[in-house]
Amino acid sequence: MPKPKKKRSPHAPPPERKIGRTLVRVFLLIGIWVFIAAFLYVVYCAIDLPDIHQVTQAPRRPSVTVESNDGTVFARYGDLGGDPVTLGTLPPYVPHAIIAIEDRRFYHHFGVDVLGILRALARNVVAGHTVQGGSTLTQQLAKNLFLSPERAMKRKVQEMILAVWLEHTYTKNQILTAYLNRVYLGAGAYGIDAAARIYFDKPARALNIREAAIIAGLLRAPSRYSPMHDPAEAIERAKTVLQAMVEEGYITESERRIALATAPKPARKPGSGGDGRYFADWIYEKTAPMLDDTGQDMIVKTTLDLSTERAAERHIAETLTRQGQARNITQAALVTLAPDGAIRALTGGADYRQSQFNRATQALRQPGSSFKPIVYLAALEDGLKPDEKVLDAPIRIGSYAPENYEGGYRGEITAREALAESVNTVAVRLFERVGPDRVIATARALGITSPLERNAALALGASEVTPLELATVYASLAAGGRAITPYAITEIDSRSGAVLYRHNQVTPPQTVDADAVEALTSMMEEVLRTGTGKAAALGTRPVAGKTGTTSDYKDAWFAGFTADATSVVWMGNDDNDPMKKVTGGSVPAALWHDYMTEIESKFPEKHLKNGASLGAQILDSTGQATEDMSKALGGLIENLIGGKR
Neighbours of 140 (CB within 10 A): 20
Cα distances from 38 to residues 33, 154, 220, 513, in angstroms, run: 8, 12, 30, 86
DSSP β-bridge partners for residue 570? 333, 557
DSSP at 454: S
Backbone angles phi, psi at 342, to 5 degrees: -65, 130
What count of Cα atoms within 13 Å lies in the side-chain half-sphere of residue 604? 1
DSSP β-bridge partners for residue 81? 190
Cα distances from 516 to residues 93, 258, 391, 617, in angstroms, run: 71, 71, 21, 22
- The answer to whether 561 touches 568, Cβ cutoff 8 Å, is no
Tell me the DSSP string of 86-119. -GGGS-THHHHHHHHHH-TTTTTSSSS-HHHHHH
DSSP, collapsed to helix, strand or coil, labels residue 559 as: strand
Q: Which of 63, 68, 135, 369 is catalytic?
A: 369
Q: Which of 63, 68, 102, 167 is catalytic?
A: 102
- The answer to whether 112 touches 99, Cβ cutoff 8 Å, is no
DSSP, collapsed to helix, strand or coil, labels residue 493 as: strand
CA–CA dist 9, 359 (Å, integer): 99
Whether 463 is catalytic is no
CA–CA dist 404, 392 (Å, integer): 9
CA–CA dist 446, 482 (Å, integer): 8
Name the helix (H) or strand (E) containing 432.
helix 424-434
Cβ contacts of residue 348 below 8 Å, gap of 6+?
278, 279, 282, 333, 357, 358, 359, 360, 361, 362
Whether 102 is catalytic is yes
Q: What angle do CA 275, 280, 283 make, to 5 degrees?
A: 155
DSSP β-bridge partners for residue 482? 510
Backbone angles phi, psi at 571, to 5 degrees: -135, 150
- The answer to whether 196 touches 227, Cβ cutoff 8 Å, is no
Closest CA to 194 of 356, 317, 80: 80
Cβ contacts of residue 371 below 8 Å, gap of 6+?
443, 458, 459, 460, 461, 463, 465, 548
Closest CA to 577 of 313, 359, 327: 327
CA–CA dist 77, 41 (Å, integer): 41
Name the helix (H) or strand (E) containing 380.
helix 372-381
Please state whether beta strands 411-414 and 189-190 pair in parallel, antiparallel, or not at all (unpaired). unpaired
Q: Annotated catalytic sites, by residue?
A: 102, 369
